[in-house]
Structure 1
Amino acid sequence: MSTTESPSLFNDLEQQSTRTLLTSMNQLDQTVPLVVEKALPQVERLVEATVAALKAGGRLFYIGAGTSGRLGVLDASECPPTFGVPQGLVVGLIAGGDTAIRKAVENAEDDAEQAWRDLSAHDINEKDIVVGIAASGRTPYVIGGLQMARQRGLATGCVVCNAGSAVAAAAEFPVEVVTGPEFVTGSTRMKAGTAQKLVLNMLTTATMIRLGRVKGNKMVDMQLSNAKLVDRGERMLMDELGIDQTKAAELLQLHGSVRAALAAQSGH
C-alpha cells in the first residue's frame, strides 16, 4: 500500500479538542519542507529540463486529477500576471476538464488516454515539456499522458508523493516527495498537496528567473492588473531610480511595465 494511503498516526480525531487537532496538523505540516529538501536534486533536474524546453520555444504543460490537477491549474494561471509571460506558455490540464476545477468529476482520472487527447487539443509538439502531478503516483490519466508524450519525444517530469510509483517510472525527470501518512487517512489534499504546491512554486519561479523574468529580486514583468500591483510597480521604480511616487507613476503609465520604464531610464 502507498504511504499516502497508510493509516494516520493520530486516532479518535472526533474526540479531540480544536486546539489539539490544530496542533497535531501543524506538527505534521512542519515535516513537509524537510521532505521537499531531500528532493531538491530532482527538482533541479526538472527545472533545467523546463528551462531548456522553454528556451527552445516550447511550453510547460501540467496534467493531473483532483487536488493535483487543481494545483497545476493554479500554478499555470499565476505565471502570466507574476512574470508577464503570455497565456499558454504554462498550461494546466485537469482530468474532467475545467468543470473539475470546482467540482469533482467521477471516474475522470481513470481514463489513461484522455490526457493525450487533452494535450493534443493544444497542438502539443516535441518542443514542449509535460509534467504529471499525482500524489498517489498511480493515476491512469497522468500515467497515460506521460507515456504517450515520452513515446513522441517530449521531455517529461512529474511530482509524486510516493516512492517507486508508476507515474515516476513514466517520467524522464521525476520528483518524489514522500510525505507519508496524512492526518486524516488518505486525505492527500493536506501534506501531499502542500508538498506539491511547494515544488510547483519552485519549478516555475526558478524557471522564470533563469529565463530573465526577474530583475534583482523584483517582478519587473508583472501585469499591472490592479491597484495593488500598480502601487508595487511604483515602489520598485522609486527604489531602483531614487525618484518620488509622482514621477514613478508617470513613468509606469508611459511605459506600461516596470522593465520598460527601467530600460528607458537607463537608455537601453
Structure 2
Amino acid sequence: MPFFIRKRSGKKEEFNIKKLRLSLDKAGADSQLINQIIEKIKKQKPCSTKAIHKLITQMLTKQSPAIAARYNLKRALMELGPAGYPFEQFVAHVFAAQGYKTMTNQIISGKCVDHEIDITATKANKHFMIECKFHNRFGLKTNVKVILSIQARFEDVRTAWEQNPEHKYEFHRAWVVTNTRFTSEAIKYAECMGIKLLGWKHPENQGIGKVIDTVGLHPITALTSLTHQQKRAFIKEGFVLCRDASKHIAFLKSLGFSARQIKKLIKEAETTCFL
C-alpha cells in the first residue's frame, strides 16, 4: 500500500519506490540489498525524506560504506561548505581528470575591468571560464540572475581574450557549475547564450553526479568513516578528494587515527573511488 512522505519543502507526496530503486542501483547496491531496504521502509513508513535518508544511510553503511558514500554524493558535495572555495577546488580536480589544464582563483583582465574567476580550464584550443555556484542548503537553485551576471563578466573577459594575439583563434566559452539545480529560466537563458551548465541532474543523464562517477573522483566528505570534525580538518588542509585520505597517513595519525582505523578508511576511500 502506498504511503506519503513530507519533503524538505514541507510538501507531501507519495513515496516513489521506483525512483529509490534506481538511485540505489546507481550507487552500486545489489538487488538483494535494495529489496531489503525497500521492505524495511515499507514496514516502518518513515514520515519524511530526512528520516528515509537516515534509514537508508544506516543500512548501506552497515553493508558497504563505499555504496553509502556514493548514495550520499549530493549531501557530501554540500558538506564541502559552508564556504564555496573547497567546492571550486573539487570542481577543478574533476575537470583536470577529464584532460583540462585548470587554474583556480585567477584575476583575469577584461576589456573594462578585472575579474576574479573561479576556474580557468583549457584543452587544445578551447578556453573556458568556469564559475562555481555553491549552495549549502537543500532546495536552493541557481537562478537566471546568476547566469546573467556571469554572462556579462564573460563577455568582458572574452573581448579582452580575443584582442590578445595569443588567444585570438581560440574557442572561448563560459561554464557554470553548481552542486544543486538550475531554474528553468536559467537553463533557457544559458542555452540561448551558449553558456554550458553542469549541475545536479543537468544536463540530463550527464549531470555533476554522473561526471563524478565517470572520472572516479568523490569528495572527502563522502567517506562515512570520517566524523564531521575530521572532514573539516581535511578540507582546512586543502584535501577535498576521498583519495586524499589514503595519501596523507601522517595527517591521519595527527588526527588520532589508529592503524586499524587508517586501514579501514583507506579501504573505504579506494572502493568509493574505484567501485
The TM-score normalised by the length of structure 1 is 0.30
Instruction: Select the structure with the greater relative contact order (CA < 8 A; seq sep ≥ 6).
Output: 1
Taking structure 2 as the reference length, what is the TM-score of the superposition? 0.29
Structure with more strand by fraction: 2
